[in-house]
Structure 1
Amino acid sequence: MKLSLIIPVYNEKENIDAFLSEVIEFCKSFSFPYEIIVVNDGSSDGTERILNDFKDEKVRIIHHKHNIGNGGAVKTGIRNAKGEYVIMIDGDGQHYPKDIARILEKLEEGYHLVVGARDSKSQASFFRAFGNFVYNKLASYVADFEIKDLTSGLRGARREVISKFLYMFPNGFSYPSTSTLAILKAGYSLCYVSIKTRKRKGKSKIRILKDGLKFFNIIAKITTLFSPMKIFFPVSLLLFVSAVLHFLYRYFVSGKYTLFTGILLLASIFTLLMGLISEQISTLYYKDIDTEND
């Protein structure tokens, strides 16, 4: 089978009927074998009943007994997928099904991960747009690669590649961030296609403050796993500069050397050593992935 389309759904009774019908109708234009996997993540608003009413041989419905999270639903979909390629698209109706073909086209060109990058007009609000801008810049620094949309819910990948990283995916909304950074830092290729989105019905499940902090936490974890010195070296340098400035201040003010200066200097050295050790561990991890690729 060539394509598995995965749609995670949670409490989308206002959107899922029309959206899934739209997806099914669009996919009829495909001339190759495909499947549509809808993962109901423990919905409690009647979404399950709506999904069970769909009778299409190309559609598989999987129900979680309780709510696990968007990332958990995606992982369930990928584990049950049979296609060479997997494309994930949110079930809230924001994305246009026609963009599925554009994602697939880039995957067939040889890219390991293809992400739909939303334009500025497609952002839900100014605060969401600003938050995504910050995430993108921070992730670009971590990955040494321009990240155009870290949190986009429309993305496709080679199933054999993305399956290697499922154990790293959190169950919440941070799975897009993790998949982007993990695949990039493991040496796989990434491509972006520009997309537009439409306004969804109902309220978004993402909470800016709570999930925003989770995104930063995920970026930090991925950084320490794949590029430890991106965090440890700046922290070490900051501590070293602080130690020097504190020494100069105390020397010219009182002419005395204080214990706090020494503590800052030792903290700088130990932080740098931790970064070097972590970098070696990261190299061993890369080696394991390269062995799997062979």
Structure 2
Amino acid sequence: MKVSIVIPAKNESAAIGKTIEQIQQLQLAHEIIVVNDGSTDQTQQVAESAGAKVLTHPYSKGNGAAIKTGARTAAGDIIIFMDADGQHDPQDIPHLLKKIEQGYDLVVGARQKGSQASIGRGIANSLYNNLATYMTEHPVEDLTSGFRAVRAEKFREFLYLLPNGFSYPTTSTMAFFRAGYSVTYVPIHAAKRIGKSHIQPLKDGVRFFLIIFKIATLFSPLKMFLPIAVFLFMMATGWYGYTLWDAGRFTNMSALLYTGSIMIFLMGLISEQVTTLMYKDRN
């Protein structure tokens, strides 16, 4: 099987050359594609000098958009996605490919303890993983890792679902679970990145909450909405029991809680049907 390496890069001239050189030393890749996402430094020149095929966006479209550009262009049967900033060790690529050879469709490099860039991001990733585990009923070791190997044909089925921003790993992982494809993990250690991070704490704090809801809606919305509906229904029943005993009447608060419970359940039911249509076989 041909292997394509796709590396999204934005202003990564300090690290991209070394990353490409280390990949070439493995002699595993049919091609190395660097998607230059509107860089304002020498990323394109450094990558081309190192021997990579460079695709350039005229302006920055986002990490997910770069991934989609690379996936559409890649000629390999297997695509390896990895970062250009030196966090991902190319020596782990054979371990990912070994799992693909065993029959898996998506292999994710799961970052071990000590790999997180900050305590805050470590806590956020832990919450992502726990929620995804609950939704899929399968252990999810690292939902947001950008170091992964996929079968190209199956990955392209979900390109229309992928966002242009940083949450493409979350979306693709949940899409593979939803489609019933085989997903597994390989332990890796993520090193400290070379250069300046593109993460913005305030902006990405908002993104954190959006991803939480996106995880739910991508896989099974009803599984997220139903517990909330049941909780409101129990509150309504408890309040009704109290007011019936205390004042002998049915109050507006009980009616509001019952109505809210029914509305949330129906929203979940409708969202479940919409999600099913999203994953309908487009072929």
> Same-fold call, TM > 0.5?
yes
CA RMSD of aligned residues (A): 2.0
Structure 1 residues 69-80: aligned runs within 5 Å: 69-80=62-73
Aligned residues between the structures: 283
- Opposite residue 37 of structure 1, the aligned amino acid is I
Q: Which residue of 2 aligns with 1:9?
A: 9
Q: C-alpha displacement at 1:285, in angstroms? A: 5.2
Q: Which residue of 2 aligns with 1:44?
A: 40
**Which secondary structure state, in structure 2, belongs to the residue aligned with residue 92 of structure 1?**
coil
Q: Which residue of 2 aligns with 1:187?
A: 180
- Opposite residue 238 of structure 2, the aligned amino acid is L
2:151 to 155, 158, 162: 158
Q: Which residue of 2 aligns with 1:269?
A: 262
Partners of 1:65 and 1:223 lie apart in 2 by 34
2:136 to 131, 143, 146: 143
Q: Are residues 186 and 163 of structure 1, via their aligned partners in 2, closer, same or farther at CA, if it must alter by over 3 Å?
A: same
Partners of 2:129 and 2:171 lie apart in 1 by 13
- Opposite residue 161 of structure 1, the aligned amino acid is K
Kindly indicate whether the alpha-carbon contact (under 8 Å) linking 1:111 and 1:191 is maintained by their aligned counterparts in 2: yes
Structure 1 residues 16-55: aligned runs within 5 Å: 16-26=16-26, 28=27, 30=28, 34-54=30-50
Tell me, yes or no, if structure 1 residue 61 matches structure 2 residue 61: no
2:74 to 73, 81, 88: 81
Partners of 1:225 and 1:199 lie apart in 2 by 31
Q: Are residues 209 and 120 of structure 1, via their aligned partners in 2, closer, same or farther at CA, if it must alter by over 3 Å?
A: farther
Kindly indicate whether the alpha-carbon contact (under 8 Å) linking 2:171 and 2:218 is maintained by their aligned counterparts in 1: no
2:195 to 202, 213, 237: 202
Please identify, of 277-286 and 114-123, the stretch whose mean Cα deviation from structure 2 is larger. Answer: 277-286
**Which secondary structure state, in structure 2, belongs to the residue aligned with residue 177 of structure 1?**
helix
Kindly indicate whether the alpha-carbon contact (under 8 Å) linking 1:39 and 1:64 is maintained by their aligned counterparts in 2: yes
Q: C-alpha displacement at 1:211, in angstroms? A: 2.4
% same residue: 47
Kindly indicate whether the alpha-carbon contact (under 8 Å) linking 1:173 and 1:211 is maintained by their aligned counterparts in 2: no
Q: Are residues 247 and 209 of structure 1, via their aligned partners in 2, closer, same or farther at CA, if it must alter by over 3 Å?
A: farther
Q: C-alpha displacement at 1:283, in angstroms? A: 4.5
Tell me, yes or no, if structure 1 residue 126 matches structure 2 residue 119: yes
Question: Could you report, residue by residue, the CA deviation over 1:60-90 in whole angstroms, capped at 9, with x for unpaired residues?
Answer: 1001110111111111000101110111010
Q: C-alpha displacement at 1:7, in angstroms? A: 0.5
Partners of 1:5 and 1:258 lie apart in 2 by 63
Q: C-alpha displacement at 1:264, in angstroms? A: 1.4
Q: Which residue of 1 aligns with 2:87?
A: 94
Partners of 1:174 and 1:278 lie apart in 2 by 20
Q: Are residues 184 and 40 of structure 1, via their aligned partners in 2, closer, same or farther at CA, if it must alter by over 3 Å?
A: same
Partners of 1:212 and 1:84 lie apart in 2 by 36
Q: C-alpha displacement at 1:225, in angstroms? A: 4.2
